Each structure stands twice: as structure tokens, then as C-alpha cells.
Chain A
Amino acid sequence: MIRSPLTLALLSLALAACSPVDPQQAVSSALTDGVLLPAYSSWAEANGQLAQSGQAFCADGQTLSDARQAFLAAQSAWAGLQPLQIGPLAEGNRAWQVQFWPDKKNLVARQVQALLKSKPALTPADLDKASVVVQGLTAYEYLVYDPTIDLANAEQKARYCPLLVAIGQHQRALAADVLERWQAKDGMAAQLQGFPNQRYAEAAEAVAELLRTQVSALDGLKKKLGTPLGRQSKGQPQPYQAEAWRSQASLANLAAGLASAERIWRGAEQDGIQALLGSERNELKERIDAAYSDTRQRLAALQRPLGELLGDQAGRGELNALYDSLNALHRLHETELANSLGIQMGFNAHDGD
């Protein structure tokens, strides 16, 4: 028997807060189940396979080509997480442990060589204490793709394998830990689905952070394209400043990131951010749909790797057109979409390019 009117009032408030009709909560919850959790699971799985592949390759049970495939799968899963980098992966320097980019001074080469010189019999425990530069995919890519390393040579293979195996294990453990932080009771997924919680006072805060993360990643995609295009360096192409130039996966990574950003917009079942726009905003919705489609098609139409496209006028023209398309997509989110939803983006540190 509840006698206090205040308690009753609080209780009804609490019940109202839990009501499933809150559209913000519906979107945050649907994106968590339909987009975020599946992406984090795939990433953890790809890293499990990367660890296995490294071990198999080093035990001569797998070809270099297989090892590269496993790497590309892990790298692609990682690239797809960029617009979803909210919560555990955005904290505690975990992202740097997966990838160190931009690597302007080729630290990866210098540090891999220095590490193996000081610890020829490297153990996974040694790697856990080493620089973030050598712990992740950037170093793995260097090992399996750099032209100065020949893993077909038995001597070199013996030299680099301890590091290859250790990176695979480090990534597997890291990804499993992040996934656990998502799935745990009161973990990240729960915090995006039930409010209030320790992280968000209400669903609107969660939606705002999801949108900011996605918009920031769209800006990051511009940077990943604009840097090698030389948009910040007097228009002179800088092919080695591209992400994943060694594995020639720069454009594939962009595509993976773009696809995830679009999933945040659409949702797995049309229940993403776009569901928050009322029918009176159909025109904006259509423009954003069209912008995604334009960027996606331009990217898909590129027939050559980034490094080659940067090498001639026609290629640079195509890349600049892609950049402009990406920029239009980013601006639509940052300004009109954010304004329509009443979400503050602030201005961005990279405005003006």
C-alpha cells in the first residue's frame, strides 16, 4: 500500500520514463540490436580468425595469401566500426591499440625493427607492454605487406612470426574484451537501451552521442581521403599518408565506414536516426538518402586502387569528386539533420577545408 502522494508521483514518472513509446529510446535501442552489436560481434569474430590465421601461417599451415585475407577481413571490420565508435572502444586508448593512423613518420617500421632487435624472442606479454604503434593492425599490415619484408623467406619468417602471432592474440583479446563490455549486464548495450543509467540520463543523450559519433566519422572519412589527395598540403598528393596504403585497402576501408554510417541513418529495419524525422521532413530525408546513394555509387565506380588514382589527373579528378560528395553528405548531417533533431554539434576543428 503506497500512501505518500509524492511516492506515487515519482512512481508514475518512473513508469512514464520506461514507456516504450519514446521514439528516441526506440531508435537507440533498435540501432543497438540491429547495427552496433552485430558490428562489434563481427569485429570480435574477425579478430579471432586473425589470431588463428597468424598461428597457422607461422606453423606453415596457411599461405601468405590466406594470412592476408584474414588481415583484410579484420581491417574491414575495424573500418566499419568507425561510425560506431561509442563507449568502450572510444575510451582507454583502445582505438590506438587497433590502428595507429596517421603514421606520418613511418613509426611502424622504426618501432617494429627496434622491438625485434631488443626482444628477438618476443612474447605476447612483451607486446602488451610495448608501444601502441606495434600492437595493432598497422603493424600487422606492415609485416604481411611491406615490400621490404619477405615472409616467403624462412629466415625472415622466423624473425617476424613471434610478433605476427602476438599481435593476433592482442587483437583477439582486445576485441573480446570490448564485446564483453557491450554485452555485460549494465554494459554499453544496456546503457543505450534503458534510461536513466550511469552514462545517459535520458534516451535523447544517447541518440545525440550516436549522431555525433556518426557525423564525426563522416568527417574522419573526409580526412582519410583528403590527406592523401593533398587537400591539406598545397594540393600535392601524399600517397603514403593514406590509411592502409600497404594493403591497398584505403578505398575498401572508406566503403566499410560509409556503409556503417548509412546503417546508423537507416537502421537495420528503417528504424535508424531517420525514423526521428517526422513526415514534414520528408524532403530532407530524401536528400540525405540521395547523398548516401551518390557517395556510395562514386566510390563503387572507382576501378583502381587509391595509390594509382592519385598518380594521374583523371584519377585525382574522380577522387576529388568523391571528396565533394562525401563533404556534401557530411554537411547535411552536421547542419540540417542535427538542427532538425535539435542536437548540438558545435563547430568542428576541421572546418575550413
Chain B
Amino acid sequence: MGRTIHLAPVTRIEGHASIVIQLDDEGNVTDSKVHYMSLRGFEKFIEGKPAEEVPRIVNRICGICPWHHHLASNKAVDRCFGVTPPPAGNKLREFAQTVSHAEDKLLNFYFLAAPDFVMGPDADYGVRNVIGVVKAAPDLATKAVLARFKAKMILERLGGKAIHPHAGVAGGFCRPLQESERQQFLEDLKELLEFSTFTLDFAKKEVFPKYLDVVKVLGVFSSGFLGTVDDKGQLNFYDGKLRMMKPDGSFTDFDTQDYADYLGEAVVPFSYGKIPYAKFWNDGFSLDLDNLKGIYRANCLARINVCDSISTPRAQAELEEFRKLFGRPAQLTLLYHWARLIEDVYAYEHAIELLEDKSITDPEVRVPVEPKAGRGVGCVEAPRGTLIHDYTTDENGLIAKANLIVGTTHNLGPMNISVNQAAKALIKNGEVTEGILNRIEMAVRAYDP
């Protein structure tokens, strides 16, 4: 008689998931599933709402990345109404989105992921958490808490509210940036860039080498990758074209407005969340470990893989080092942690770049808009992956139809594959320990879902 391991809830992640692993009579894994437990139905209940109100509704999809939903939504609404924000309005939006990336990565590394590395994957769950890290390394933890808070407060001061923002408005940004604020933010960000590069150096020296053996076996498989690049093929969080790379490194670029020609979403019985796949490969969809079809990944490792280069110097140097070690595309799942910290450095460098351009304080930040019928796809790179908001409005500018593909969902299939792979590799002959189960969860945590 086999048995079932019910690992719930998956912890130190942002969403609601559980893992169920089936063992056969000998105690070996026959199957595993990651169940995505939540369905709220934003696509349905924003119907009939005035489109200009929607960026303040859909930000509630995620409390960790509300800025990204807010701004993808703003972009979609502007396109429905046929309006382009003034340059400073657009720059302020991009600045906010960039800072939001920056603080999010520190949150993930120190609060969610670090316990596995600092305390070790086998440590008791009572200490294998950020509270344990605070006790084990109080100086570092205090620095991390303060740095992330400083970044977060830039968003609060800029937009009035850091969690569930209302700063992006139809036709632009809610208010101009004052020169004194620009200078203060610059000062803060330069300090934060130092902390970000320190974090990456620290991780490369103290954390990753110790776990390189785990990195090479945990949740590993080959997939495609999706991310946004600009006209030069460089990493871009805020705007550009989408690039889908195949496992062999060849890629196709496409316009965000055409996403539905390239991406499909499979509905599977075990998950409320739909599982996106690369429809245009014309290969179908399969999560079968021995016969994967249509599978690609998103989020930091994907973006680091699909971009040709990074426009800022420190991050570009890190990218070159990373590529020398792991190739392009890098496939090892736990390298998400490394890629995330490279992106963090880029985010701070780019935020500084945006602020150094004084035109960001131009008082023209918003143009009036007329509600009307239209369709618009708003797309940004959220920390957890390519985020797509597709709206159709009626003649009164109310939402007639909406389709959303949320960053995390691109990785729902890959998380299943990684967990399945990890469970089969780690559970043998019925031997199950807390450390083994935690390692299996680490295969999920790498994706920062």
C-alpha cells in the first residue's frame, strides 16, 4: 500500500499552494503535484468598471508586486483610450516600477530564501526563518531590514502609498516630482546600490558556493524562457518587445499586443491557476518529465537568459561572469537566486540613471483623457515574470472584457516539473525527512511564486 505526503501550505512564498507526493509500496515517488489553491476572478469582476478605476483595483492581485499590476493596467487603459502620457509621467511610472523591483529582490533574498542558506535546509523549522536569521546574523539582518525599508519608503514618498498604489492615473502620473525629492531619492539610491552589490558579493562568496552541489541537482530540467528586451536586445523591466527563447538558445521576438498568438494557457484538473505554454511552437503542452512540451519559464533567470546584454555597467559585468560560469541559457533552477541579485543591482543602477535625467521633474505629468471604446494590452516585467493585462473597453470607457496573464503563472508548470524532479531524486525507499521535504520546497521557492 503506497502513501501520500501532503505538504501544506507551501511556506515562505507569496501565494497559496500545496504539494502532494504519492509514494508506491516501496516508498518511491510515483507522482507529485503542486496545487495552486486560489481563484479570485479579477478577469470577471472588473467587467463593467470604469477603465480608469481598474489600476486601483487590480493592484490588489498581489501585495508584493502591486506596482507592476498597477502600471501594466495603466498602460492597457491608456492604450484603450488612445492616449500617451507626457514624458515625465512615463518616467515617473518607470522609476516607481524599477524601485519596486529593487526592494522586492531584497525582500525575497533576505526574508524568504536566506533561511534555507543561512540556517541550512535541515535546520529545525522553528529557526529556519527570518527570525532565526535575525538571531544568527543580527548585523546583516538589521542592515537588510533597513535597506529594504529605505527603498520601500521611496515608493511611499513618491506615490503616497507603497502597498496598493494609486499614483499611476489615466494619462500619466498623479503629481510631479520636486527637485528636492529627486536629490534625496538619488542619495538614498546610491547608498542602496552599495548594499545591493554587497549582497551579491556576499551571496557569491558565502552562500552559493556552499550549495553549488544542491544547485546542480535540485529541480533541474531544460525549458524555454520568456522576458522583455528593448530594441537593442537589452534587459528592460518596463517596456519593449517580448522574447521567447527555446532551450537551444534560439529565440523569437514579438510585439506585446500580439501575445495571444504566441502564448496559450492550459487548464489542468489539479490547479485553479492556468498553466501558460508556448503555443506558437506548435508542439502542444505536456508536463511529463520525459516528454515536456511547450514549457518555458519566466522571472529573473528567464530575463537574464533572453537579454543580449544589460545597459548598466555593474550588472553587465555580473551578467558576463554568470554567463561564463553557466552558459546561455542557464537552466539550473536554483540559479534563479543568483539571477535575482544581478537584476537587483541593475534595478538600483537604472533607478539612479532615471533620476539623473533632470527632465523627470518636469511638471507636465498627465494629459486629460476621453473614455472610449478600444483595446489595449499593457505589459511589464513583474519580479515574478512577464505580466500581461489585456482590456477591451466599450463606448463609455467601461471594461467590456479582460484577460490577464500574471507573472507567477508562467512558472506554474515549471514548478510542477521541478518538484516532481526533486521528489523523485530525493525520496528513496520510503525515507522521508523534514530536510528532504524542505529541499523539495526549495525547488518551488527558487521561483519566488
Pair from one complex: no
Query: Which residues of A approach B to under 8 Å, CB–CB?
Result: none
